[in-house]
Structures are given as C-alpha cells and as structure tokens.
Amino acid sequence: MSSGSEPRGGSSGSMIVVAVLVIIGILAVVAGVIYLIEPAKSLPSILGTITHPAARANAHRSLRGWTALVVGVVLLVAALLVGRSARSSRASRA
C-alpha cells in the first residue's frame, strides 16, 4: 500500500535535497572552471574581478578554482548518496 501524497520516485523532501545539491554542485564546478581559465581581470563581477594591483589582475585564481571544483564534486557525490539512500529506504518499506 502506498500513500497518495508520496511521489513515485521517493519522498519529496529527499528529492528536493538532491535537486538543490545537484544545482549548487554544478554551479560550483562551473565557477571553478571559470576561475581556472580566466585571468582575474576578466572574471565576472559576481566572482570578484580584481583590477588592482595590476600585477594580480593578470593572474589566475587557481586556489579558488580548485577549491570550487572540489566543493562541487563533493556536493554531487552527496546528492548521489542522498538519492541512493532515499531509493533504498523506499525499497525496504515496500
């Protein structure tokens, strides 16, 4: 017997958590790639454009880039684990 309020793929709460983790993880990976590719003077303003001092404006933000990539991958793995645990708990209830 299944409750009528529960979506077919799992509980709605866990699906929302998975969706949020995936979105933030993808955004972090994209930000990390941008930090690694673009020089500081060419970064979008939301990522913190650096124009002064001039010596730092042409440098890449590799520490921020690698950190953002690691955070993004960790969030994507967390989303995978939450999705799997929701699926296995649903299977054990059936």
Total-model pTM: 0.74
Q: Is 52 exposed, middle or buried (0-12, 13-18, 19+ CB in 10 A)?
A: exposed
The span from the CA of 14 to the CA of 30, in Å, is 24
Range of the domain at 84: 13-93
58 in a domain, yes or no? Answer: yes
Number of domains in the chain: 1
Residues 91 and 51 sit within 8 Å (Cβ to Cβ): no
In a domain, 53, yes or no: yes
pLDDT tens readout for residues 42-88: 778 787 766 666 666 666 678 889 999 999 999 999 999 999 887 77
Q: Is residue 47 part of a domain?
A: yes
